[in-house]
Every structure is written in structure tokens, then in C-alpha cells.
Amino acid sequence: MATDPVRQVEATVFPGETTAELQRLARRLAELPPSPAEPYLTVGIDLRAYGPAAGHRLGLERFERDAEALLKKLDAHSVARLSATTDLTWIIERVGQARVGSEGMFAFACAGRNVFEAAAVPVPVPERLSLGPTPELFDLVRMIEDWPPYAVLVADQQLGVLLLVTGAGPDLRVEVGASDFPRHQHQGGWSQDRFQRRAGEREDAFARELAGQARRLVEERRIEMLVLAASEPMRTAILDALHESVSKLLVGELHHIVEHGRNYDELNPNTVIKLADPIVRRAERAREAEVARKVRDGAGPGDRSVTGPVDTLTALQTGQVMTLVLNDDASVAGWADFTLGLYGVGTVPAVHPAGGNPANLVAVNLVQEAVRLALQFDADVEVIKTDPTSEEGHGRERVVTATRPRADAAKSMDEFGGIGAVLRFTLAPDLSTARL
């Protein structure tokens, strides 16, 4: 082939928190030491605006009202009250600095330990305002897990566009333009045959360039899914050119973007995301069902999964867990002695079960602690969506009620209290050696 078909490659970076940045935030928070005396403030705020002027934020009003009520519950002269007052003042300032288009904010603060972390995201977040000995990371991790980084590749014979989506919003747009080689000449016979041959070679070369760009994106940004939107003959050429590491990530195709004459080059990134979103959602639900099956089928002595809060927390503490699996409504009341790394289910016991100091026993949500331990040991976290009807497009969720159907994967996890794990390895009965 004589001519490189690529005319230009342009990249556009969008503002916003990427999945990688949110993951680093979660990991950083998980590494913080427990602080029962000066508790961490965990906040989730709905930043969506309502009303004719689109300036009325009910979620912010609820947060300010709940914050005032929280402060009143704390002793006026306590260290916790002083820390929480400083934390709330800082969070309100951060809300005012939130990027336009942000629909939710996570914030974590503890003035006594000089911890101030926040992230504004383009989707609604569960509203939360709580004090605890450790940051409560479940909602943040759930959002990260439920919006895996993916790419949409849109292409025809003249233009290819790769849109990277992370953190539920556009992250990067790579546009690859093609030259018009070979120009069509109005001649018949051998000239026409030569033109068609050259045109086919050009299409194959352009497809290889797009496939190469997709592979680089997958490797550099750890893309988990790919959606393809391409017209023939480019569709077939791209599928043939994709590297195996990329083709295995293909979860579906969009046909109507290019097949009905739409000018996809001018599509708003959020429109592309809206079109690709149902495909990604279905793939994510299928992945959840598969990992829930692994938990169920692998449960038992010596096998590759554990179930229930007690066994799961034990496996997390010994570094056995490869994937922590949780229903999105899982919640297990329990207690912890962070000085001994000891956890238990139920109310805080009056007598220390290990003979330690009863003053070190504090009430915790064991699901939150499981997430924190998983992050510390580099385990994956898979959150099962319990209501399969709750998704209405890009990040919007209906209110879940008892009358709505429950996903089969969630029902499977319900048998174990909504929590379990797939293991990297198992332990011998005496817990002294690993059984691989």
C-alpha cells in the first residue's frame, strides 16, 4: 500500500473526576487510621437544581438542616463538636466551588486529623451525613464500580472517534481523520479495479490505525468495556483489526448512529453516552450475575468463596479476598476493636470478647468496614444492583420500593446477608498455611 490514510489525530480532554482519580481517593481514605475519639464526617449531597430558574437545590437545603441537627447532638465543648464544625464549614465552601454540571458530591473530613477530601461527580449520589471512626466508603465505591471506564468507537471511512467515559462522564475524545486517498477517477477497466483495490487497502489501514488507538486507550486507561458504532465496510475491517485484548472487551454495537445518516462528529459526548449507556448497563448486570454465581457455587470448606459478614471479614483481614461482593442495600450492624483488629456482629458487648479493654469497642457498620479492608488489600469490589428496574438512563434512579422486583443475583446474595467474597486462595484448617 502506498499511502498512509491518516490525515490527523486530535485529542480533547474533558474536565471532571476520572475513575482512576476516584479510585485513588477511595484508596487514600481507606488507608486512614481509625479515629473513634475524633470521628470522620462522611457526606453525600444531591446538588441537582430545581425550579424555573434551575437554582433551587433541595439536597443542599437538606444537608444544611441535617448538619445543624448533627451538631446539636454533640457536646458543645467536645473535640468531636469542634472538629465537625470545622468540617461542615469546609464542605459548604467546597459545594460553592463545585463544577457546573455536577449533580452530586462526596466529602470526607476530620479536622482533628487534617483530612479534607471531596469529589463532585456528574450523577446523583445517595444523601448521607454521618460520623464514624472510619470514613464510610461504600457509596463512593458503589458509584465507581457501577460506572466502569468504557470507550465508544464511532467510525466510517472518513472519520473515527474514540470517546472514553470514566466516572459516569466524558473523559477523553480522540478523533482520527482520514485522507481522501485514493481519489476516484472516472475510468473503467483496469483503472476502476485498481481504484477499488486501493480503496480496500486504505480502509484496512485506517481500521488498523483505529484499532491501534483503541488498544493504547485500553492499556493506558484500563478500559473495561468497548461499544462499537461503525458502518460497513469499516465495521468488518475494524473487527478484524482489533487486538484480542480489545475485542474481548466488546459488549455491544450501536448501529443507528451511522446507518441513518446522523452527523456523529457533531454529537454531544453526553448524547453518545446516553446511547451507549443501556449496552454498558446490561453488560454490568451480567458481570454481577456471574460473580454472584461464583460466590454461591464456591461456598464451603476449602472452596474459593466465603459468605456472610463474619467469614468475609476474616478472609479480608488475611488478604484472601480477590473480589468482595455486596448487595447495594447490604447493611450489617456490628462492633469493632480497632486496636486488636477484631470485629463482631450485633450490638457492642458489655464484656470484651477477647479480654481487651471494653472502652475500645465501638459500633460500626460491618459492610462499610468490609469495603475499607478490601481497598487496603487491593481486592476488587462488586456491588450487586438489587432493583433491575431502577435505571432510567444516565445515572438517574427511581425510588426503590418493596413492590419492585429484586434481581436474581441479589436474591442469591440475600441468602448470605448480602455479603460474600471470591477468594484468591484458601487456608489450611489451622490457618497457618495457604492452600493454592
pLDDT tens, position by position, 298-351: 876 667 899 999 999 999 999 999 999 999 999 999 999 999 999 999 999 999
C-alpha 245/C-alpha 97 separation (Å) is 40
Q: Which three cell numbers stand for residue 195?
A: 481504484
Q: Per-residue confidence at 394, pLDDT binned at 50, 70, 90?
A: very low
In a domain, 428, yes or no: yes
Question: Percent of the chain having pLDDT more than 90?
Answer: 62
* pLDDT reading at 386 higher than 50: yes
Provide the whole-model pTM: 0.85
In a domain, 170, yes or no: yes
Look at residue 372 in the predicted model and tell me its pLDDT: 97
188 plus 301 within the same structural domain: no
User: 134-162, pLDDT tens digit by residue?
Assistant: 999 999 999 998 888 999 999 888 888 99
Look at residue 433 in the predicted model and tell me its pLDDT: 36
* Ranges of H-type helices in 101-188: 138-146
CA-closest candidate to residue 92, choices 131, 129, 121: 129
In a domain, 126, yes or no: yes
Residue ranges making up the domain that contains 426: 288-435
Mean pLDDT of 359-371: 96
251 plus 298 within the same structural domain: no
Q: Per-residue confidence at 169, pLDDT binned at 50, 70, 90?
A: confident
In a domain, 153, yes or no: yes
Look at residue 101 in the predicted model and tell me its pLDDT: 81
Look at residue 258 in the predicted model and tell me its pLDDT: 59
250 plus 158 within the same structural domain: yes
219 plus 345 within the same structural domain: no
In a domain, 23, yes or no: no
Q: Name the least confident of 2-11, 72-81, 229-238.
A: 2-11
Q: Per-residue confidence at 428, pLDDT binned at 50, 70, 90?
A: low
From 101, 132, 163, the end of a domain falls on 132
Pairing of strands 380-384, 321-327: parallel
Look at residue 8 in the predicted model and tell me its pLDDT: 74
CATH number assigned to the domain comprising residue 307:
3.30.1330.30
161 plus 71 within the same structural domain: no
* pLDDT reading at 261 higher than 60: no
User: 52-67, pLDDT tens digit by residue?
Assistant: 555 678 888 999 999 9
Per-residue b/e over 215-229, b at no fewer than 16 CB within 10 Å?
Answer: bebbeebebbbbbbb
Look at residue 399 in the predicted model and tell me its pLDDT: 43
3-class DSSP state of 321: strand
User: 239-256, pLDDT tens digit by residue?
Assistant: 999 999 999 999 999 876
In a domain, 278, yes or no: no
More confident residue, 342 or 389: 342
105 plus 194 within the same structural domain: no
Mean pLDDT of the chain: 86
Report residue 274: phi and psi, to 5°. -60, -40
308 plus 427 within the same structural domain: yes
Per-residue b/e over 27-43, b at no fewer than 16 CB within 10 Å?
Answer: eebbebebbbebbbbbb
Residue 304 amino acid letter: R
221 plus 350 within the same structural domain: no
Look at residue 356 in the predicted model and tell me its pLDDT: 94
363 plus 427 within the same structural domain: yes
In a domain, 327, yes or no: yes
Q: Per-residue confidence at 191, pLDDT binned at 50, 70, 90?
A: low
CATH number assigned to the domain comprising residue 233:
3.30.420.60
123 plus 151 within the same structural domain: no
3-state secondary structure 2-33: CCCCEEEEEEEECCCCCHHHHHHHHHHHHCCC
Whether 223 and 151 have beta carbons less than 8 Å apart is answered as yes
3-class DSSP state of 342: strand
Question: Percent of the chain having pLDDT more than 70?
Answer: 83
223 plus 310 within the same structural domain: no
Structural domain count of the chain: 3
10 plus 151 within the same structural domain: yes
Q: Provide CB contacts within 8 A for 243, sequence distance 6+.
A: 211, 215
C-alpha 382/C-alpha 374 separation (Å) is 11
The single residue listed with the C-alpha cell 457536646 is 75
Concatenate the DSSP letters of all residues of 221-253 into one string: HT--EEEEEE-TTHHHHHHHHS-HHHHTTEEEE
In a domain, 276, yes or no: no
